[in-house]
Amino acid sequence: MRKIVYWVHQSVDGYIQGPNGEFDWPEMGPELSAYSMQLCTPAGAFLYGRKVWELMSFYWPRAESMSEDPHDLAFAPVWRKTPKIVVSRTLTEAAEGARVVGRGDLAAEITALKEEPGGDLLLTGGSKLASALTALGLIDDYQIVVHPVVLGGGQPVFLDAERLGLRLTETRTFDSRSVLLRYQRAA
């Protein structure tokens, strides 16, 4: 069975967006970019909630014309070729060949996705879908990159979270700036 890996950037004070929705603070230095590519390239599919999907599907198809950032230029072709799954109760279809799920029993639909053959499902960013899947016990690996910024408010990584025991499986520093905290559910 393939795993769901939650890959998210957060501030030191635990937010994925600032008070006004800003996401201009994560820095993808060379080491973090290389790690990101190692995580993304073998993924069986990218998994998104609707809001993150809207951002991703706007930016990545045209990234080369909007950015000169080395990470963006390397990741854009990976994004385009990797299957994408959008979890939404409101969307019936999505651009870029993405598959839409989530209009029925979320636990059953996501479990069925995990049972399909292929590489792991990489849930990127967002907190609503991650929180829902955490509550259902469906996330296998939490990879949280903490960036050296305090946002003072905004959207937290986990919404309406109940107590959850996690086991630290890895820590790593990137570019002398960011820290990976990797967890799995405690047994």
3-state secondary structure 158-175: CCCCCCCCEEEEEEEEEC
Give the start-to-end residue ranges of the domains of the chain. Answer: 37-185
Domain 37-185 sits in CATH 3.40.430.10: yes
Residue 162 confidence (pLDDT): 80
DSSP lists the bridge partners of residue 39 as none
- How distant is the alpha carbon of residue 185 from its chain centre? 17
> What pTM was computed for the model?
0.94
| Block mean pLDDT (10 aa), the chain, length 187 | 97 96 94 97 96 95 94 96 96 93 94 97 94 94 98 92 90 97 89
* Residue 31 CB burial class (10 angstroms; 0-12, 13-18, ≥19): middle
Q: How far apart are CA 187 and CA 179, in angstroms?
A: 24
